[in-house]
Amino acid sequence: MGSETLSKPRARDLGLPFSGRTGAFNAITDVAGIEVGYSTVISDAPALGGGPARTGITAILPRGQTGPIRAPVWAGFHSLNGNGEMTGTHWIEEAGYFTGPIGITNTHSVGTVHQSILEWMIDKPDTGVGPYKFMLPVVGETCDAYLNDMNAFHVTTTHVKNALDSASSGPLAEGNVGGGTGMICFEFKGGTGTSSRVFDLLGSRYTVGCLVQANFGIRPLLKILGVPIGEHITTDRLWAGEQGSIIAVVATDAPLIPTQLERVARRAGLGIGRTGTSAGDGSGDLCLAFSTANLTISESATAPAVGELAFLPNNRLDSLFEATAQAVEEAIINAMVAAESMVGREERFVAAIDHDAVKAVMRSYGRLNAWAGS
């Protein structure tokens, strides 16, 4: 479930002074209607054989369990570096929307997750939005092969459907959960992270939320709020060159059109960049943005000849752009702060980031809240 293991600390619990005003949960679920579910697969004697399982699936339902599940949402996509996969993006770039849930998993489980989402959708009663003759689910991936035996295909249809069925709103677990279970970030244990921002624009209040699967970066480049943490915490290094990937999913209730959502997705890339990465050749840094507003997209035979669409003016979007970059940056740090050290296949060890060491470095730069203890 999205609410499992909620006792993990978050970046703000360490006293890190992130900018911006968060929603009630500081999560993507602060955007009304969005639900998130997880299946976490950890086993040293997995049912399907092969090596150890350190993996999973994260499901994001843009319209929740009880909403019009098949109702499209306007969307935009941006590839900061394309060494990765996110299905459905050709249609997003062509038509500006997608339908149904989003799945995030490991690289070799994309096919299983894609088919399982289709099966789950087919079994749902018609919501009145459609009919659709085909569906193109959105499934993103990052590679957990350092800790997980990806070639054993540990993620099954049951795991995917359990994640979808258990999706809920409210606070979310982070770190070693769902698709983020076996992921590594800046050579620390990484995984799933989330954050949100609330902003006022033209007399209305809107929310932007982000969920990341953080599996990228090399230690010397790591920055937290501009502080070169990676230059100070140098133990438990793993490799010399950039590798890994990140999936960043940004949601908002602000009414936007696809070209604007592509612009939002680009600002997710800026949030990723704030943590210090140079988006190396081996990294798949893929960003998706969507809006839950405008529940009127229809291609049915009874659709009106001329549709109507509300959207904010382009020249007033700066506060949304900044909120997006802030939320993505904090979500990445949340993923590392919540993650725990892990031993995976071939007895490989990945250390969690040391909270006390982070606070000591941040304090030395004057970038820690006064109330934060030693």
Residue 4 domain flag: no
- Taken as a whole, the chain contains a residue count of 374
Residue 5 domain flag: no
Measured distance between the N- and C-terminal CA atoms of the chain, rounded to whole angstroms: 33
Task: Count the neighbouring beta carbons within 10 Å of the beta carbon of residue 302.
Answer: 5
When pLDDT is averaged across residues 66-89 and rounded to a whole number, the result is 93
Q: What is the pLDDT of residues 203-233, one digit of tens each?
A: 999 999 999 999 999 999 999 999 999 999 9
Residue 133 has pLDDT above 70, yes or no: no
Give the integer Cα–Cα distance in Å for 180 and 213: 5
- In Å, what is the CA distance from 278 to each residue of 75, 320, 352? 25, 24, 22
pLDDT-based confidence at residue 8 (cuts at 50, 70, 90)? confident
pLDDT-based confidence at residue 130 (cuts at 50, 70, 90)? very low
- In Å, what is the CA distance from 90 to each residue of 98, 137, 227? 10, 11, 38
Residue 115 has pLDDT above 60, yes or no: yes
Residue 2 domain flag: no
Tokens of 67: 């909403």
CATH code, 104: 3.60.70.12
pLDDT-based confidence at residue 48 (cuts at 50, 70, 90)? confident
Whether the CB-CB separation of 78 and 129 falls below 8 Å is answered with no
- Count of domains observed in the chain: 1
Q: Which residues of 309-346 are buried (b: 16+ CB within 10 A; e: fewer)?
A: eebbeeeebebbbbbbbbbbbbbbbbbbbbbeebebbe
3-state helix, strand, coil in the chain (%, to 5): 30, 25, 45
Whether the CB-CB separation of 175 and 215 falls below 8 Å is answered with no
Give the integer Cα–Cα distance in Å for 88 and 141: 13
Give the integer Cα–Cα distance in Å for 327 and 243: 23
Residue 94 has pLDDT above 70, yes or no: yes
DSSP 353: P
- To which H or E segment does residue 41 belong? strand 35-43
Q: What is the pLDDT of residue 344?
A: 98
Tokens of 162: 């359990």
Residues with catalytic function: 245, 283, 285
Residue 374 domain flag: no
Q: Which residues of 178-212 are buried (b: 16+ CB within 10 A; e: fewer)?
A: bbbbbbbbbbbbbbbbbbbbbbebeeeebbbbbbb
Domain around 128: 11-298+305-364
Which residues lie across from 58 on neighbouring strands?
38, 104
Q: What is the pLDDT of residues 249-263, one digit of tens each?
A: 999 999 999 999 999
Residue 288 domain flag: yes
Give the integer Cα–Cα distance in Å for 350 and 42: 15
Q: What is the pLDDT of residue 66?
A: 84
Q: Which of 350, 354, 337 is nearest to 195 (CA)?
A: 337
Residue 110 domain flag: yes
Q: What is the pLDDT of residues 267-308, one digit of tens each?
A: 999 999 999 999 999 999 999 999 999 876 665 666 677 777
DSSP H stretches of helix in the chain:
89-95, 110-122, 157-165, 229-232, 258-274, 318-338, 355-364
Amino acid letter, 281 = D
Task: Count the neighbouring beta carbons within 10 Å of the beta carbon of residue 226.
Answer: 10
DSSP 121: H
Residue 137 has pLDDT above 60, yes or no: yes
Residue 370 domain flag: no
DSSP 106: E
Helices 110-122 and 157-165 cross at an angle (nearest 10°) of: 50
Residue 1 domain flag: no
- Written as one string, the DSSP assignment of 178-222 is GGGTT-EETTEE-EEEEEEEEEEETTEEEEEEEEEEEE---GGG-
